[in-house]
Amino acid sequence: MNEIKIFCPATIANLSCGFDVLGLCLETIGDEMIIRKVNEKGIRITKIIGADLPLETKKNVAGVAALALLNSINSEFGFEIEIHKKIKSGSGIGSSSASAAGAVFGINELLGKPFSRHELVEFAMKGEVVASGCEHADNVAPCLLGGFTLVRGYEPLDVIRIESPEELYAVVLHPHIEVKTADARAVLQPMISLKSAITQWGNVGGLISGLYTKDYELIGRSLKDVVVEPLRKHLIPSFDKVKFTAIHNGALGAGISGAGPSIFALCKGFDVAEKVAHSMTEEYLNTGIPADIHISKINPIGVSII
């Protein structure tokens, strides 16, 4: 096999209480990539459709992640990468991670799978540095592994995959504004109170427990953020109103997707998700800012071959 076409799914990171450690994989939103094995060694980005992103390998998240993989293995081949972006940059649903994860997944397939999906996470994290200035796995891990993922630790990297409850749906409202991850990180505070820390890790434990036991009410009670959301929500017009209307119309909980500006809600059942999606859309119309709405099951596979 000398060429592969893959689907690189969008993701929701943080999930309110799990800043930089929790994420989930979406089923209905994602990029496509075509990766070709070539005789000339190295990585070349040959085409990007749908976004104005650099073709220069060391300035592109896919290129940097791919180089990290190649530098760890003695490959006789090089690779060309063609990216069809359908996840907007700065949307808060893992645009950069889809590119990074897709690149390492595709190259790994063409090399005969020398690395497991868990091992690919470390390479994909290298690409995230280009987008946000630091290595983090809360988007690339669910993109590669599917379902929910918990990053228990970074030194060494320890990622746990968690199956999604069957009836869980995600709704994502994406306003047509951009919030750069680096800017969203700049508003964060390096120190938090002990009271906030206790509340936050209680919610993380509750969310994990709710996922394993399929306790939807517990999942909802745990989708609360007292650390990051209060500092970031002013970057998203009408965030509080949209969150309120989502929960009022049946969502288990709602919050900022990744660094924003997208707002996510988790729901039990498709009918509830449809009602929540409609209510969030109607509320956001009052801002005058165009927005997209997505309803998705949780993707159990992650990056996949088309």
Q: In 3-state terms, the chain is what percent helix, strand and coil (to 5)?
A: 40, 25, 35
Of 32, 181, 245, 283, which one is the catalytic site residue? 181
* Residue 119 annotated to the active site: no
* Catalytic one of 128, 149, 229, 283: 128
**Residue length of the chain:** 306
Closest CA to 185 of 135, 238, 149: 135
The 3-state secondary structure of 135-201, one letter per residue: CCCCCHHHHHHCCEEEEEEECCEEEEEECCCCCEEEEEEEECCCCCHHHHHHCCCCCCCHHHHHHHH
All residues at 6 or more sequence positions from 279 whose CB lies less than 8 Å from its CB, including other chains:
245, 246, 248, 249
Q: What residues act catalytically?
A: 128, 181
